[in-house]
Structure 1
Amino acid sequence: MRTVGVEEELLLVDAESGRPLSVAARTLQYAAEAAEPAEDAGDASIAASGEFAPDEVPGGSIEHELQQQQIETDTVPHTDMAALGEGVRAWRDQAITAARRAGARVIASGTSPLPVEAAIVGKPRYLQMVEHFGLTTTEQLTGACHVHVSVESDDEGVGVIDRIRGWLPVLLALSANSPFWQGEDTKYASFRSQAIMRWPTAGPTERFDTAESYHSLVSAMIASGVIFDKGMIYFDARLSHHYPTVEIRVADVCADAADTVLIAALCRGLVDTAAAEWRAGEEPLALSVAMLRVMSWQAGRFGIEGNLIDPQTLAARPAREIVADLVDHIRPALRENGDEELVERQIAQILERGNGAMRQRTMLEKTGQLSDVVADLATATAGLEG
């Protein structure tokens, strides 16, 4: 059974006003002080300093992100989704506890509902990014959920990437959790998906066919001087440059950790299904990058409230029908992994109560205050709801 690990980009906000707060360094310091010595690879035992080299510990940390108002958590790999959920919640709890000591709350949101000013972490790499990419860097305060699913080889990984492209917008629609930007309603369910497209390597990719073709493109991008290294490959799905995984990067970070686990289970089902198709010699869907961009835009704009574009027919159909098609497409893998009931239950909940974007807008309609939206996000992130 394939292992799955999750990275979550979380925002640090002022406990009173709800505005993003530049306390990442202090939060990480407090997290490191609270961490027990790492004696094994379990989530709760990994020190939270983020100083581990990637090849030494496969996940399990709290780390800096680009901005001082943000941190990133990541779990160790799991095969069991219940254990993965425990890991996601445990790292959120550690982040929340450390942030509280720094005078902040933690929210899982694709963007800050309230206005924010840039506060770049003073690492040489990040400062170089500011110089090179300008406003794209300084305005980049977004929260994504990245899912790592193990693969046997780069060739299998590329075969998977080629075959999951058309289904990734469905993950975006389900996870969409970023309707506000600089204090305004953007009309998008996921404005993060728009902001991320400013980067030159972001978004959907063409069909690669072979690992050699994939690596040749990455090498050419780096050689161009436009990007610095493999870490700046921001494809919707990419080969990890640290681990033997496909990293699926299209989802917004979810306020509810149960939705995070859903996205992870769907990602593993997609990878299992695509790998089987690749081994059987089945051709990927014939989808151009231009059409994939249209499909992603539709998902980011409307989430699950309108139509999505069917990756098999390119017809616009109600989102809940396309979501059902995705589940049917990967159902054998879900059943084999023991994830079918979890996926069915959590999707039903999202379709009934709405995704994160719908939740944020509902709270604003109730109170008229974006600060209340932030407070509600903090409650959901901490899992304190009844």
Structure 2
Amino acid sequence: MTTNRPSTAPSARAVDAPTLLTLGVEEEFLLLDPATGESLPVADRVLTALHGRAREQSRQEFRHSMVEMVTPVCTDLTDLREHLVALRRAAADAARAAGARLVAVGATPVHESHRTVPDEPRYHAMSRRFGPVAHDPAVCGCHVHVGLPDRGLAVQVCNHLRPWLPVVQALTANSPLHDGADTGHASWRSMQLERWPSIGPTPYFASVADYDATVAELVDAGIMLDPAMVYWYARPSATYPTVEIRVGDVCPGVDDTVLVAALVRNLVATMVDNVRAGVPAPRLRSCLIAAAHWRAAHEGLDGRLIDLRAGGTRPAWDLVEELLHLVTPALARHGDLSYVLEQLARLRREGTGAARQRRIIARTAGDLGAVLDHLAAETIAG
């Protein structure tokens, strides 16, 4: 696939230093058998084979068939893209040495027979607490961190983000397959994760004290082991001075990831402006937000999404255009506008990861091997 590199990087003239928000990305990947497409439990071998910066920026995940790669903090989309390409290629080389291939796909597409958790006390505790839910087939996400060290502001920003996160979710849909068949959902990962009690839309919080008290109650009730198990779609990170958006499937290609990261950064920047201007966050019913996320996971960008501000459903791309209009001033401020316009045009032509997979299935009369070949190649394309 032809890729477009970021054409406009932030500069001192385009962005005032105080308004330049940093960002970083965590990407989770599956390790699949090149012949069968089944998940392979070789993560330990893959992590051991990584060296230098790639090893430092890798993480063990909840399945033996997964690895996570984490970019450093970036201010520039070009730098972010270069880090993503380098990390994906390093992980792919290590996977190849372990007899697997690295694939950026949101959910286990064929089968996973080895579902025990890695030998870590925390993972064993999660297994004991949540039982079979903790042993579902592997799922892989894309988490975008935007620098925001003020936790009180971060909580308010999360309130403002809630109407827009289903649109971000639809943009990233990349997991239509399960057990070798099309599920009818663009993001099966999203459906699978609904079984966890601490995953889902971020609740509305009046303050950081309200947030902390609620999390403490959930921990006390056994819904979470600890505050690090806050897996809501947007949260003040438990580890970094950031707002973390964790609603999306891992994206198939690097440019898909950079596009989502750019939109998320500038959506956060826009909501920071709104908070500081005293604009109140909309008080939306939790059932409607949950419905909007379900619809986004089912449709991706190929159908209609729920408009949480005006009510009813609208074509998905209409809401993408509204999101773009909303964040355009922040995109211009960060120097990201040209790249985002290029990549949204490409995404409209090519479709989401789910749409691309389905197109190959239709073209090859259901050849899953062709789908996985394409995904593996797209994962490391630069």
Normalising by the smaller structure, the TM-score range is over 0.9
1:88 counterpart = 2:75? no
Match of residue 77 from structure 1: 73
Alignment of 1:16-27 (within 5 A): 16-27=35-46
Other structure's SS at 1:246 match: strand
Other structure's SS at 2:269 match: helix
1:369 counterpart = 2:367? yes
Match of residue 15 from structure 2: none
CA distance in 2, matches of 1:173, 1:306: 10
CA distance in 1, matches of 2:61, 2:331: 33
Give, in angstroms, the shift of residue 140 of structure 1.
4.5
Letter in 1 for 2:61: E
Match of residue 14 from structure 1: 33
Of residues 82, 101, 108 in structure 1, which corresponds to 2:104? 108
Letter in 1 for 2:378: A
Other structure's SS at 2:102 match: strand
CA distance in 2, matches of 1:290, 1:269: 27
Match of residue 174 from structure 2: 177
CA distance in 2, matches of 1:18, 1:218: 39
Q: 1:47 to 1:109 in 2, by over 3 A?
A: closer
Q: 1:152 to 1:130 in 2, by over 3 A?
A: closer
Give, in angstroms, the shift of residue 357 of structure 1.
0.2
Give, in angstroms, the shift of residue 116 of structure 1.
1.5
CA distance in 1, matches of 2:258, 2:40: 28
Match of residue 347 from structure 1: 344
CA distance in 2, matches of 1:88, 1:364: 28
Alignment of 1:24-63 (within 5 A): 24-31=43-50, 34-35=51-52, 46=53, 48=55, 61-63=57-59
Give, in angstroms, the shift of residue 105 of structure 1.
0.5
Using the TM superposition, name which of 310-319 and 253-262 deviates more: 310-319
1:266-319 alpha-carbon deviations (Å, 9 max, x no partner): 111111010111111101123111110011011100110111122320221111
Letter in 2 for 1:165: R
Other structure's SS at 1:79 match: coil
Letter in 2 for 1:4: L
Q: Is the 8 A contact 1:108 1:255 kept in 2?
A: yes
List gaps (5 residues or longer) in structure 1.
36-45, 50-60
Higher relative contact order (CA 8 A, sep 6+): 2
Other structure's SS at 1:361 match: helix
Q: Is the 8 A contact 1:310 1:322 kept in 2?
A: yes
Equivalent pairs counted in the alignment come to 361
Other structure's SS at 1:20 match: coil
Match of residue 38 from structure 1: none
Letter in 2 for 1:27: V
Q: Is the 8 A contact 1:96 1:382 kept in 2?
A: yes
Other structure's SS at 1:209 match: coil
Other structure's SS at 2:216 match: helix
Other structure's SS at 1:173 match: helix
Other structure's SS at 2:164 match: helix
Letter in 2 for 1:153: D
Give, in angstroms, the shift of residue 47 of structure 1.
5.4
Match of residue 128 from structure 2: 131
CA distance in 2, matches of 1:181, 1:251: 17
1:174-196 alpha-carbon deviations (Å, 9 max, x no partner): 11000011222110001111111
1:328 counterpart = 2:347? no
Q: Is the 8 A contact 2:158 2:235 kept in 1?
A: yes
Over aligned residue pairs, what C-alpha RMSD do you find?
1.2
**Runs of 4+ off more than 3 Å:** none
Give, in angstroms, the shift of residue 125 of structure 1.
1.5
Match of residue 199 from structure 1: 196
Letter in 2 for 1:379: A
Q: Is the 8 A contact 1:9 1:143 kept in 2?
A: yes
1:214 counterpart = 2:233? no
Q: Is the 8 A contact 1:113 1:373 kept in 2?
A: no
1:195-223 alpha-carbon deviations (Å, 9 max, x no partner): 11111111112211211111111111112
CA distance in 1, matches of 2:325, 2:137: 36
Match of residue 152 from structure 2: 155
Give, in angstroms, the shift of residue 366 of structure 1.
2.2
Letter in 2 for 1:72: E
Letter in 1 for 2:93: T
1:119-148 alpha-carbon deviations (Å, 9 max, x no partner): 421222212212211111100410100000
List gaps (5 residues or longer) in structure 2.
1-19
Q: Is the 8 A contact 1:69 1:119 kept in 2?
A: no
1:72-109 alpha-carbon deviations (Å, 9 max, x no partner): 01101101011111111111111011111101100000
1:244 counterpart = 2:221? no
Given the two structures, how large is their TM-score scaled by the length of structure 2?
A: 0.92
CA distance in 2, matches of 1:202, 1:22: 25
CA distance in 2, matches of 1:139, 1:182: 12
